[in-house]
Amino acid sequence: MKILGFIGLGVMGLPMAANLRKAGFELVVYNRTWDKTDFLVKMGAEAVHSPAEVARAADTVITMLSNDQAIRDVYLGPEGILAGVRPGVTAIDCSTASPGISRMLAQELATRFSDFLDAPVTGSKPAAEAGTLTIMVGGNEDVFLANQDVFQAMGQKIVYMGPSGYGSQTKLAHNAMVAIHSAAMAEGLAMAVKSGLNPEKFLDIVKNGSAASKQVELKQDKILDRDFSVQFALNLMLKDLNLAADFATSLAIPLPLMQNARSIFQMAANKGLGEADMSAIIQCYEEWIGHKIRRFTVSGENSAATVQDPDRRKHIRVPMGLDIKISVHQWQQEGSFSGQFIDGKLHDISETGLLISSASPLAQDMFVIVHLQKEADLPPVIAKIIRVESQHDGTFRYGCMLSGVPPYVMHRLEQYINRHAEK
């Protein structure tokens, strides 16, 4: 039986390599983090210290890497695959990569009388562990057929898509749809929960209706159980969406749904959720609706929105009653704005929103500019009024969502919060 090499033992790569070993293949492995090879060594694999050593030892080398730069490093680096590859060796890249880099590697390996297949996978961690991945393959069809035993040890559905790059092209179009479906599920679920519906019952309807998708099947329990352990990392999906956007540009086609999904994933990454599972984008919607989404377990309640959440996120809060200035701008004729400053109070602040008050009536969905006290040493921040409450003393309270705050300002705002936090 042929000797296989495997490089990249992450969330997906490790179980894929383990299934190859279970299928009886001799296995030579490399991973930048050495201790990730321990599990496979215990299964009888040999661990080596560079991609070049893998290429020298193996008949077929499989790579499963995080991004284009990692692929370049592993294939083209001083101790990369191309430095050790022998004539007749086949390299199979299962990463999600740009079609351009897949075609470039096919050309580079051809000059060394070796073969290359771009063979990205889908199915996330559960399918990688079960050996039921779907694999889409680009490259020479004869080489594809010669490696059926390798593919069948890792996947259940293996499809030859066409020449070099076609596997990568398929994966980008596929993952654009995955991201859209994921955002659509989060959006519908947020609407349902905000209106008081039981989220579990709602998703049961979705699974059995026209809105059903694999994302609902895969992510329902993770969201309802608030389990954001990684099956497929949010940062990796964002990387794939960025690649898809570049590819769409090269094709000169607009992809408005994909771009909107990309924006949501970017917002989630900016919130620090990049290393969580991609289902963590639901946390963006939870902020917007003001509720965490979990299983509906409180008896006698008819509204999911009224369930007290014992795990409610504890935003650090600034003491009440700080004086602020609120800048309000109104649209005038001939394309101009008129603006005015009004006095206000800052009652509550977190990294995502403000609670302010003023004697002046303002409207929901209005954007205002909030000027904090001079000692805050912060530029004004833009906020959108999402809630208006009349008070008995004739004033109004406004729940505001922060809008477009740059990361460096958010960092300084967090420092300001920490300096004034209630003990």
Residues designated as active site: 171
CB atoms within 10 A of CB 306: 10
Q: Cα–Cα distances in Å, from 376 out to 248, 327, 352?
A: 44, 17, 17
**Angstrom distance (rounded) from CA 224 to CA 293:** 6
Q: Which residues contact 35 (CB under 8 A, 6 or more apart)?
A: none
Coil, helix or strand at residue 380: coil
**Angstrom distance (rounded) from CA 266 to CA 273:** 10
Residue type, 322: L
Question: Kindly report the CA angle at 43 between 38 and 45, in degrees rounded to 5?
Answer: 75
**Angstrom distance (rounded) from CA 221 to CA 295:** 9
Token pair in block for residue 123 = 């199915």
**Angstrom distance (rounded) from CA 216 to CA 186:** 9
HEC letters along 302-342: CCHHHCCCCCCCCCCCCCCCEEEEEEEEEECHHHCEEEEEE
Given its phi and psi angles, is residue 350 left (phi above 0), alpha (psi -120 to 50 degrees) or beta? beta
